[in-house]
Structure 1
Amino acid sequence: MTLCCRRVSFEILRKLRECVEGEIYKNADYRWCRNKNIFCIDKE
């Protein structure tokens, strides 16, 4: 599953990215997110 969110927090030690703010788009198209400058996170 791909989650796309407006803002993402980075936890450096664990290398985790979590959605912080804004809409979350589940199973979003990666290129669509990039075109809108939205971060994508791949979750299993």
Structure 2
Amino acid sequence: MKKIYKYGTGMEVPKGAEYLWSYREEDSNAPNGYYVWHYFLVETK
């Protein structure tokens, strides 16, 4: 079974994960004013 997971820039992504899309989220608390989330399709057990 596969599920969609989101990872922040620089986070470790599981081997074999399939990239789907990225999303930029504005956040005044973030160091540069936004976070970028990357979505991957990941095989689960």
**Fold match, TM over 0.5?**
no
TM-score by length of 1: 0.31
**Bigger radius of gyration, 1 or 2?**
2
Q: TM-score, normalised by structure 2?
A: 0.30
Which of the two has greater helix per residue?
1
